[in-house]
Chains A and B, each alone.
Chain A
Amino acid sequence: MTGLLEGHLVVGAMLFVLGAIGFLTRRNLILMMLSVELMLHGVSINLTAFGRHHGHHSGQVFTIFVLTIAACEAGLALALILGMYQRRKSLDVQLWSNLGEPDLPRLVPEPTPPPAEEPVELPHLAPAGRVPRLPPRRSVGQA
Chain B
Amino acid sequence: MNGIIEQWPLLAPLVLGGLAIWLLLPRDRVRGWGLGTLCGVAALLALSRQFGPVASDAARNVLFHLFGGGAVVSGVLMITNRNPVYSALWFALATLSVCGIFVLNSAQFLAAATVIVYAGAIVVTFLFVIMLAQQAGGAEYDRRAYQPELATIGGCLLLGGLLFTLQGWSRGVGAEGAGQFLKRPDGVAANLLSEPQPWNAVTVIGESDLGTLRGVGRSLFGDYLYAVEVAGTVLLIATIGTIALAPRRSQGTL
A interface, CB within 8 angstroms of B: 2-11, 13-15, 17-22, 24-28, 30-31, 33-35, 37-38, 41, 44-45, 48-49, 51-58, 60-61, 63-65, 67-76, 78-83, 85-86, 90-94
In whole Å, how far is A38's beta carbon from the nearest beta carbon of chain B?
6
Q: Are B126 and A10 in contact (CB under 8 A)?
A: no
| Nearest opposing residue in chain A for B95, CB measure | A41
Q: Tell me the bound Cα distance from A94 to B114 in angstroms.
A: 32
Q: Are A15 and B72 in contact (CB under 8 A)?
A: yes
Closest 5 CB pairs of A and B: A22-B79, A72-B238, A3-B54, A57-B219, A24-B151
Counting CB contacts under 8 A, is B125 at the interface? yes
Q: For A86, what are the chain B residues with a Cβ–Cβ distance below 8 Å?
A: 247, 254
What would 7 more interface pairs be, CB under 8 Å, given A31-B87, A55-B195, A67-B114? A25-B145, A25-B146, A38-B79, A48-B101, A67-B117, A90-B139, A91-B133
| Nearest opposing residue in chain B for A75, CB measure | B242
In whole Å, how far is B149's beta carbon from the nearest beta carbon of chain A?
10
Q: Are B78 and A22 in contact (CB under 8 A)?
A: yes
Q: Restricting to B92-122, which residues have a CB under 8 Å from any CB of A?
A: 94-95, 98, 101-102, 104-107, 109-110, 113-114, 117-118, 121-122
Q: Tell me the bound Cα distance from A92 to B142 in angstroms.
A: 8
In whole Å, how far is B107's beta carbon from the nearest beta carbon of chain A?
5
Q: For A31, what are the chain B residues with a Cβ–Cβ distance below 8 Å?
A: 79, 84, 87, 142
Interface SS of chain B: helix, strand, loop or mixed?
A: helix
Q: Are B184 and A55 in contact (CB under 8 A)?
A: yes
| B126 contact from A14, A30, A51, A58, Cβ within 8 A | A30
Q: Tell me the bound Cα distance from A86 to B251 in angstroms.
A: 12
Q: Are B246 and A28 in contact (CB under 8 A)?
A: no
Contact code string B155-190 (vs A, CB < 8 Å = 1, else 0): 110110011001000100000000100101100100
Q: Are A44 and B98 in contact (CB under 8 A)?
A: yes
Q: Are B155 and A57 in contact (CB under 8 A)?
A: no
Counting CB contacts under 8 A, is B194 at the interface? yes
| Nearest opposing residue in chain B for A49, CB measure | B105
Counting CB contacts under 8 A, is B39 at the interface? no
Counting CB contacts under 8 A, is B12 at the interface? no
| Nearest opposing residue in chain A for B81, CB measure | A31
Q: Tell me the bound Cα distance from A29 to B183 in angstroms.
A: 41
Q: For B106, what are the chain A residues with a Cβ–Cβ distance below 8 Å?
A: 52
